[in-house]
Amino acid sequence: MRKLDTIIRDYHWGSRTALAELRGAPSPSPAPEAELWVGAHPDDPSRLRDCGVPLDRYLAANPAGLLGPGSLAAFGPRLPFLLKVLAVDAPLSLQVHPDREQAATGYAERGYRDDRAKPEVLVALTEFATLAGFRAPAATAALLDALAVPGLAPVRAAVAAGEVGEALRLALTGTTGGLVAEVAAAAARVPALAHVAELAEVYPGDPGVVAALLLDAVVLRPGQAVYVGPGVPHAHLRGVGVELMVNSDNVLRAGLTTKEVDVPAVLSVVDTRCGPAAVLAGEVDGPLRTYPTPDPEFRLHEARPGAVLPGGGPQLLLCVNGSVVVRRGGDEVVLAAGESAFLPHDEDAAQLAGEGRAFWAAVNLGA
């Protein structure tokens, strides 16, 4: 087992306090801290604390021994997942991720960043607000009626006909700045759409504000999770959560961002049949709570002292409060809040002790 130095990513939507408090820092950070990364992503790999070697380089030196034969055969000589903590103080972009076939085609023909899908699961550490998946058409039509904005008539007609994809296309390609302003003013009077008015304050004139009318608004309680599969449109709004995803860069943005937007690409991969994204309570087995997902690349667990972590394949462990002691064989690692470790492939199980709480990421080859 190897203790890691984690990486902090600064984006404008981050928090000056959340990740600082998680790590036990004595004061807020001077700039917004948005993401804490644990993994071997080539842009910002974690480093082995005792020697400073980047985790991706460490794995490349012995992929069979460190990743194990199952993970190596299924995913190649790389860690297939990336573990994060998100600290969201301002809305993220409205985005979608391709499935495996779309990612492979997009990488070959459209310049996608890689050939992998990017499903993800996020577990709330605090109350966490997000837009994820499409609201039921009848409920969306009722909310559009409550807005009473004439310019939304084409979108409303498409929704009423069950043509959610057409409604999204109209919202993203037929929206003017004036319509966004009308929608924002009306949404401020409809409690269920207060988040839409707030989006317009951050991104005035952005068509993504109108597209957000179609999405399901979810507020997760601590311990609840949301699974975002391929093609599911989503935009995180606020809160702190642990996120596990395939180690991929394939993000297609539709709006609510200063980054590059590719509406045709979004419309080509969005799953208009997805409905609201799945909210997971987790399956509790003593000191382990598992958040099941269908992806072979990852599975995520909340782990408390007394938990036994079966061996097999590469694993990451991140302590989120208190401290935990990880023991496997004759090896022992102590993690304080905000600290993490890499557990290489081994058939022996690891045991957790201490008085804290951690999140455990592993491959899911039985999926």
Query: What are the residue numbers of the active site?
Result: 253
Rg of the chain (C-alpha set): 21
Interatomic CA distance for residues 24 and 338, integer angstroms: 8
Interatomic CA distance for residues 348 and 340, integer angstroms: 19
| DSSP SS3 for 204 | coil
The string of DSSP codes covering 168-192 is HHHHHHS--HHHHHHHHHHHTT-GG
Which residues pair with residue 3 across a beta bridge?
A: 341
Q: Are 124 and 224 in contact (CB under 8 A)?
A: yes
The string of DSSP codes covering 257-322 is SSS---HHHHHHH--TT--BPEEE--EEETTEEEE--S-TT-EEEEE-TT-EE--SS-EEEEEEES
Report residue 290 CA to chain centroid gap. 16
Main-chain dihedrals φ then ψ at residue 12, nearest 5 degrees = -65, -25
Pairing status of strand 357-362 against strand 331-336: unpaired
